[in-house]
Structure 1
Amino acid sequence: MIKNFRIVKATTPLSLESEMVHWLTHSHTEYELNLYINVKATIFINETGYFINDNDILFIPANVEHSIYLSNKPKNTQYSRIVINFNNNFIKWMSQVLPIWSYIDTLREKSSYKISLKFEDYLYVSDLFNKILENYQLQNSSDMVINFYYLIKYLANSKNHVNHDSKVYEISRYLDENYKEDITLQKLSELFYLNPSYISRLFRKRTGLTIVQYLQFKRILDAHNAITYKGTDIATACYESGFGVFSTFTESTKD
């Protein structure tokens, strides 16, 4: 067995009745690299939201908090991905023969952890993921390691890190920076010169979330961090995170 490294192709049925499935905020001591096969999700890393669709790739550094909101539309959706976990000991072992540290550092320091690939690039990357998985299962460490090196190098050098020109990206960045304020569709319409109904449809189509859901999730994360790490009392955390009414906060955290 290859130490300090694992890869698995995972499929999770979302059999719940709710349209959104929330996986609580967590972190792990390993790096995580995901190739998403069938998914529509919003993943928050350090409170920044990334909208994930089929064929997207997401790199999550070690010891970084993240939470996942999966769309369950249509109901009973299958959530599928190939996920690689590895730690610094594995990278140290690899670096004895391959110059991988610089590429890991590049991935950690990029302004976005999400990578969206063109179709031809996706074919190459997905082939590498599958080769790594196959060789891992066969315990063929030499081929697995070289393909993993090619993958990390390719992703580190990739220019396809999220489209900063998209309106949804601009709107989400505004929400990330101002979620504690009273934000309405009308206000967003005036800021971005778009029809309120169009903003609502576009945002939900791209992210699987309504504007209200996105704001609630941001506020819940902020309140959770204040309560857990700063010792803030629940009522104060509620108001400081942007929930105008305490009952709205308590109802949101029940979902």
Structure 2
Amino acid sequence: MEQEPQPPFIIEQIKRAGPFSMDSDHYHDTYEIYYLLAGERSYYINNLIYTLHKGDLIFINKNELHRTTSKGSASHERILINFEEVFLQKTLAHYDLHFPFLTAQCLLLRPGVHEQGAIEYLLFSMLKEQKEKRTQQIPYFQTLLIQLFIEMNRIQEISNEPITPESSDKQLKVYEIIDYLQANYAEKLTLERLSETFFISSTYLCRVFKQTTGFTIVEYLNYIRIKEAQRLLQSTNAKVTTIAEDTGFDSIAHFGRVFKQIVKRSPLQYRKQNR
């Protein structure tokens, strides 16, 4: 059964009391803007972990692995935007607008108080528009989103307080493990092999990886493998069985099951839609 098509632009505001960690898709073929209205969060993106504070904003490009997890026991509130590339394509071309972060993996911003006010005005205008469902809603969203892009671009140009990744001993060890998984995903990787490679027990390895990134090792490895499989399905004529082997899966059935779980369609459906 095919999924219902998603709108090209979605915005939502959510407030949560107490700890919460994402338990949903971790990368997708839409752009994402995450703005933290209150609280603190740990955010995994682009192989690194960041601590976000009130007023921080992250722009995430399509198909970048990411996840937010609890920072202590505090509550948090955030606004999330997801939009497809086609949503702004014609408008950006018409006005000859270029925003460098649209081609980067991600953009992390720590706006000042005045800049936060400008961002929140635009975000709450979008939320109000979505709730009221008035005529000509799409162009209204598009103009607000472009204004938000301009604010983000200006903040990036004058930013003197970049958001730096966390770098405790535990996190540095996890970064090493991540690099190893990305370099060796096509091989048969077991907890025993990883444990021997990094001289730590498999129990501790699983716990520290999950606590730091929000992913289990198996989840993370599967996402690396499926992203590479997507690239091969788009850019080569290799058979699906060959791609399954080349990306480290032990059987075509296992590959197909994991691929569909993450991408929401079969490998052949994905190739047909992306060629």
The question of a shared fold, defined as TM-score above 0.5 by the shorter chain, is answered with yes
Question: In the TM superposition, what are the counterparts of 1:1-255 in structure 2 within 5 Å?
Answer: 8-11=11-14, 20-22=23-25, 25-27=28-30, 32-35=32-35, 57-61=57-61, 64-66=62-64, 81-83=79-81, 87=88, 104-105=99-100, 107=101, 113=106, 115=108, 126-135=116-125, 137=128, 149-158=150-159, 160-161=162-163, 163=165, 165=167, 166-167=171-172, 168-255=174-261
TM-score by length of 1: 0.59
Structure 1 residues not aligned, in runs of 5+? 1-5, 13-18, 72-77
Q: Once the 2 structures are TM-superposed, how far is the Cα of residue 205 of structure 1 from its aligned partner?
A: 1.6
Size of the aligned set, in residue pairs, is 220
- Matched position secondary structure for 1:177: helix
Q: Deviations over 1:98-139 (max 9, x none)?
A: xx95xx32x3576x515375xxx6877654431222455588
**Tell me, what secondary structure is at the counterpart of 2:153?**
helix
* 1:16 alignment counterpart: none
> Hey, what's the Cα distance between the residues in 1 that align with 2:154 and 2:179?
28
Same amino acid, percent of matched pairs: 20
Q: What displacement does 1:239 show?
A: 0.2
1:210 Cα deviation (Å)?
0.7
Q: CA deviation at 1:176?
A: 2.2
Question: What SS does the corresponding residue of 1:199 show, helix, strand or coil?
Answer: helix
SS in 1 for 2:24: strand
RMSD between aligned residues: 4.8
Q: Offset of 1:242 from its aligned partner?
A: 0.9
Higher strand share: 1
Unaligned residue ranges in structure 2 (runs of 5+) = 1-8, 16-21, 70-75, 130-139, 262-275
Partners of 1:244 and 1:179 in 2: how far apart? 12
Hey, what's the Cα distance between the residues in 2 that align with 1:234 and 1:200?
A: 31
Distance 1:113 1:24 in 2: 13
Shift of 1:224: 2.9
**TM-score, normalised relative to structure 2:** 0.56
SS at match of 1:181: coil
Post-superposition offset of 1:218 = 1.5
